[in-house]
Amino acid sequence: MRHLLSAGDLSLAEATSILDVAEEMHTIQSRQIKKLPTLRGRTVINMFFEDSTRTRTSFEMAGKWMSADTINISTKGSSTSKGESLRDTMLTLDAMGTDCFVIRHGSSGAVAQAASWVRAHVVNAGDGTHEHPTQALLDAFAMRRHFGTVDESGTGGDEVFAGKRIAIVGDLLHSRVVRSNVLLQRTLGSSVTLVAPPTLLPTGVEQWGVGVTSDLDEVIEGADVVMMLRVQRERMHGGFFPTEREYTELYGLPPQRLARLKPGAAICHPGPMNRGLEISSEAADAANSLILEQVTAGVSVRMSVLYHLLGGSPE
Ligand code: CP
């Protein structure tokens, strides 16, 4: 694997290998001394041109726990704020001997463009409304553990996803998480249904090969996982729904809708959450909420991704 730019680039074998190695990495998180020598001498630069809590911190932890030298760069404090182009910034840092760039950028396609300029490996940590492949991988990791199919050797089969029904609900139009999840979950064998008001459905969604509806109540009882997506107010220019109250009633998870989930069904949210808008506190903090498990999985999965890119084959 040279880069990780899109969840659609991963074959079933590659995705399963990342999830299996993440299981090994997961054990590190419960240790007192969280350090492996795996990436000693390798340099990973985290370049975040958009805000992040989970992704940036977990990539930094992942690199550090595997003994890589990790460096963080953001727009403020780098020469991009003086007008240097992304290309010149990338070429400059690549020329210093960087081994891997982890990039978040506000423009869809910018990370793939950056990858075409450099010799180093590149991971897409979220590009505009396009993709966020490591989020989809960590979601799958948390789901796989939830489904309880991780065997005693610490690895789970990919067959666990076959026939599972995943409902992805909310602001799909502005979401990079939904695109990566659809691509990955289709590879893994799940059945995905997208749920959103018509105004928040992406153009061409009917060609994505998934179910699409605007009625959450139609799918809530059959779902094995309900993934709630953040209403991205910062990307909205105009009114996409009449009122927040109406949105919450139709597309939120208040207690009365929560009660209709089937036993064993899980709630996911990639974060950050708008509590009281797309998700109620009762749902976010429910026993079957995987939200903190998703965060924990973020470090293990990103360790595994860096390992696959920089550390050689799992064998
Ligand atoms: N889910 C996610 O990407 O969160 P951050 O924006 O905090 O990284």
Structure tokens at 300: 């293990």
Nearest to 172 by CA among 121, 227, 222, 229: 229
- Using the mean position of ligand 1's atoms as its centre, give its distance from the Cα of residue 271 in Å: 6
> Which pLDDT tens digits describe the chain residue by residue (315 residues)?
999 999 999 999 999 999 999 999 999 988 999 999 999 999 999 999 999 999 999 999 999 999 999 999 988 878 888 899 999 999 999 999 999 999 999 999 999 999 999 999 999 999 999 999 999 999 999 999 999 744 344 445 568 999 999 999 999 999 999 999 999 999 999 999 999 999 999 999 999 999 999 999 999 999 999 999 999 988 777 788 879 999 999 999 999 999 999 999 999 999 999 999 999 999 999 999 999 999 999 999 999 999 999 985 444
Domain 7-132+298-310 and domain 134-294 have a common topology: yes
Q: Does 255 contact ligand 1 (Cβ within 6 A)? A: no
Q: Could you identify the residue written with the tokens 């730019």?
A: 5
Residue type, 297: A
Percent helix / strand / coil, the chain, rounded to 5: 40, 15, 40
Q: Does 53 contact ligand 1 (Cβ within 6 A)? A: yes
Helix ranges (DSSP H) in the chain: 12-29, 54-65, 86-95, 110-115, 133-146, 176-188, 216-219, 244-251, 255-258, 281-284, 291-310
Best residue among 52, 56, 295 to mutate for probing ligand 1, ranked by most atoms within 8 Å of CB: 52
Q: Whose CA is nearest to atom 3 of ligand 1?
A: 55
Assess contact for 176 and 52: CB atoms under 8 A: no
**pTM score, whole prediction:** 0.95
Structure tokens at 110: 């910018």
Q: Does 58 contact ligand 1 (Cβ within 6 A)? A: no
**Cβ-based neighbours of 39, under 8 Å, separated by 6 or more:** 63, 66, 67, 68, 306, 307, 310, 311
Best residue among 54, 59, 134 to mutate for probing ligand 1, ranked by most atoms within 8 Å of CB: 54
Q: Cα angle at 212 between 297 and 252, to 5 degrees? A: 60
Q: Whose CA is nearest to atom 6 of ligand 1?
A: 52
110/103 Cα distance (integer angstroms): 9
| Predicted local confidence at residue 44, as pLDDT | 98
Nearest to 198 by CA among 177, 222, 175, 173: 173
Q: Is 102 helix (H, G, I), strand (E, B) or coil?
A: strand
Q: Does 57 contact ligand 1 (Cβ within 6 A)? A: no
Domain spans of the chain?
A: 7-132+298-310, 134-294
221/217 Cα distance (integer angstroms): 8
- Using the mean position of ligand 1's atoms as its centre, give its distance from the Cα of residue 187 in Å: 23
252/197 Cα distance (integer angstroms): 12
Question: Whats the size of the chain, residue-wise?
Answer: 315
* Percent of the chain residues past pLDDT 70, beyond the cut: 96
Q: Does 106 contact ligand 1 (Cβ within 6 A)? A: no
Q: Does 133 contact ligand 1 (Cβ within 6 A)? A: no
| Predicted local confidence at residue 151, as pLDDT | 38
pLDDT digits (tens, 9 = 90+) for 263-277: 999 999 999 999 999
- Using the mean position of ligand 1's atoms as its centre, give its distance from the Cα of residue 152 in Å: 31
Q: Does 280 contact ligand 1 (Cβ within 6 A)? A: no
Check residue 273 and give left, alpha or beta (phi > 0: left; psi -120 to 50: alpha).
beta
Q: Which is the closest atom of ligand 1 to the Cα of 58?
A: 8
Q: Does 54 contact ligand 1 (Cβ within 6 A)? A: yes
- Using the mean position of ligand 1's atoms as its centre, give its distance from the Cα of residue 176 in Å: 11
Q: Is 195 helix (H, G, I), strand (E, B) or coil?
A: strand
**In CATH, 7-132+298-310 is 3.40.50.1370:** yes
134-294 CATH, one of 1.20.1740.10, 3.40.50.2300, 3.40.30.10, 3.40.50.1370: 3.40.50.1370
Q: Does 52 contact ligand 1 (Cβ within 6 A)? A: yes
- Using the mean position of ligand 1's atoms as its centre, give its distance from the Cα of residue 228 in Å: 14
